[in-house]
Amino acid sequence: MPNISYVDGVYQNYENSKININDRGYHFGDSVYEVILFNEGIFYDFEGHINRLFGSLNAINIKFHLSKISLKIIISNLIKINRISFGSVYIQVSRGIAERNHSYKGMNIKPLLSIIVNKKLNNINNKLNGVKAITLDDNRWSRPDIKTTQLLPNVLAKTEANKKGAFEGIFIDSDGYVTEGSSSNIWIINYNNEIITRAIDGQILSGITRKTVAQFAKLNGLIVKEEKFKKEELYKSKEVFLTSASSFVTPIIKVDDIEINDGKIGQMSIDLRNLYFSELHNYQ
């Protein structure tokens, strides 16, 4: 299977794809990224992800040279060359290459675009498994709303979760409220069947899957509330689930030592997951 990536204008085998040692993404995490899923020629939420990428670039003042249309052409080419029908595309833009210096003031450097495409197992129709999660203190910087590659707290949280046999680490802020997962947004469903997720308040990433799921749920007459909830509410919820581009809607059946819904996947989580797939395909 071809393993071709795109680095700074060149399509190349992984082995030959090299990034300069002085890339600021490597030195400082001075770069932003997106992950987009695709399936049989359909991108999941392409516009949302690309708009957020440009928003992130803007937020950290990277002057990117490519248009959204050019970017889409490059990505589509890469998928075709790799002959992948279901997978994910990882897009990263760093500020560029320069001798190491914290400040970029006055640096005349060109942003560096790199893209990787990965094949994903198409198990959408397989029996769905619920996952476990653990909670941890949110020790990230104060701008988690920008999708930068500076992800060390997220890396440590996910690893801690995995070491404890869990799939996701859920961050809890200093007031005891859930912010989000290490690589996902977190949702609860209460016993009034209200679907609740934290509002876009600067303390979480504005998830594209989150937005789409909320929109589809509302269109189907479900009640969606965007408000904070505490760790204890998470434990007492009827259902808990997470959303992300790569995990879609995934039910959480255990948080720390507490089983949710007696450790079984809840029906509303299943319905929302199915809704997400069916509506996404309808809306193309």
Instruction: Give the residues lining the site for ligand PDD (CB under 6 A).
Output: 35, 154, 180, 183-185, 205, 207-210, 243-246
In this complex, which beta carbon is closest to ligand PDD, that of residue 94 or of residue 183?
A: 183
User: How open is the CA angle 193-198-204, to the nearest 5 degrees?
Assistant: 150
Contacts of residue 139, Cβ cutoff 8 Å, sequence gap at least 6? 153
Q: Which is nearer to ligand PDD, 107 or 199 (by Cβ)? A: 199
Q: Which residues are catalytic?
A: 147
With respect to ligand PDD, which residue has the nearer C-beta, 57 or 97?
57
Shortest Cβ distance from residue 35 to ligand PDD (Å)?
4
Distance separating alpha carbons of residues 267 and 281, to the nearest angstrom = 21
**How do strand 195-197 and strand 224-226 relate by DSSP bridges?**
parallel
Compute the distance between CA of residue 201 and CA of residue 140 in angstroms, rounded to an integer. Answer: 15
The DSSP-derived string for 79-109 is HHHHT-SEEEEEEEEE--B-SS-S--TT---
Question: From the CB of 105, what's the least distance to ligand PDD, in Å?
Answer: 29
Q: In the bound complex, what is the minimum distance in angstroms from residue 246's beta carbon to ligand PDD?
A: 5
Q: Which is nearer to ligand PDD, 30 or 180 (CB)?
A: 180
Element (H, E) at 273: helix 267-282
The distance of closest approach from Cβ of residue 159 to ligand PDD in the complex, given in angstroms and rounded to an integer, is: 14
